[in-house]
Structure 1
């Protein structure tokens, strides 16, 4: 059981890292650095297409990461 959970945790961590690195930056360039997150906070633009899919997949892998981590702590402890 321990080996299966650790293997799934490593695969999930690699998938989450890959998804985060493949996403485009929200505020690119100098204008994004100056305005900060205000444009995104007050703007009503929603992510569409592949960005939305990658965002949702990142959330799913993050939740799975926490569940597997708690499960690993339960199995070890």
Structure 2
């Protein structure tokens, strides 16, 4: 059981790192703020932008990472 949770924990940790690295920075400069503002202001699908999807997946991966960390701590 511990080995299975450890494998899941490692996969979630690597995916969390990848998801965070895929997100665009908040300080993208003037051109990034203008383009990003136009995309979210005029876009019909505000929740379906790449940044919104990555933000949701970051939250999910973080919760799974915390749960697997707690399970590993309790099992050892």
Structure 1 and Structure 2 fold alike (TM over 0.5) = yes
Spell out the pairing of 1:1-77 with structure 2 (5 A cutoff): 1-29=1-29, 49-76=49-76
TM-score (norm 2): 0.73
Deviation at 1:47, TM superposition (A): 6.8
Instruction: Extract unaligned runs of 5+ from structure 2.
Output: 31-45
Deviation at 1:28, TM superposition (A): 2.1
Query: What is the number of residues matched between the two proteins?
Result: 63
Instruction: Extract unaligned runs of 5+ from structure 1.
Output: 31-45
4+ aligned runs moved over 2 Å, structure 1: none
Q: Hey, which of these two has a bigger chunk of helix by percent?
A: 2
TM-score (norm 1): 0.73
Task: Give the match's secondary structure for 2:72.
Answer: helix
1:1-43 deviation digits (Å, cap 9, x = unpaired): 010010000000000000000000011248xxxxxxxxxxxxx
Structure 1 vs Structure 2 CA RMSD: 2.1
